[in-house]
Amino acid sequence: MALMLNWRRQKGVNMESKSQIFRRGVQQKTVGRVNQKLRDSAKDCPFCMACGLENPSGDMLCLAHSNRLEDGKARGLKATDETGAILCARCHDFVDGRSGNKNMNREKKQEYHQAAHLRTMEWWIKKGHLP
């Protein structure tokens, strides 16, 4: 093995490390339309739109993007910010499938997100974030 590596170095063959190969193979998700006003609105939101967890300090909630194809989600592409819901970390993990009931199917998780999205839309309109 050492002889092969020395030969490659002498011949000027590209020597990529494992981390370089790994990074090259991983694609970053791209976001459709970014609306920073909507993303920042999670700091002002008083509670999680799914479970009702209060947000007294402004750092407990974030904008969780939709995972539905109808909302623009695709492999390596996030849905637009307008289709998101303001959720706490626990609800966000649940909707994205990182925790919670593993027996709950995708449709139920999408319905859970959709209900929170509708409450988020009402709040955005009430606060003037959306026309």
In angstroms, rounded to a whole number, what is the distance separating the alpha carbons of residues 103 and 99?
Answer: 11
Mean pLDDT of 59-73: 86
Mean pLDDT of 65-83: 82
In angstroms, rounded to a whole number, what is the distance separating the alpha carbons of residues 64 and 86?
Answer: 6
Q: How many residues does the chain have?
A: 131
pLDDT at 40 over 80: yes
Place of tokens 């002498």: 10
In angstroms, rounded to a whole number, what is the distance separating the alpha carbons of residues 102 and 58?
Answer: 30
Domains recognised in the chain with CATH numbers: 30-127 (3.30.50.20)
This prediction's pTM: 0.71
Could you tell me which of 46, 44, 38, 40 has the C-alpha nearest to residue 66?
38
pLDDT at 47 over 90: yes
How would DSSP label each residue in 21-35? Answer: HHHHHPPPPEESS--
pLDDT digits (tens, 9 = 90+) for 2-37: 554 454 455 554 444 444 444 444 445 555 567 889
pLDDT digits (tens, 9 = 90+) for 86-109: 999 999 998 888 887 777 788 888
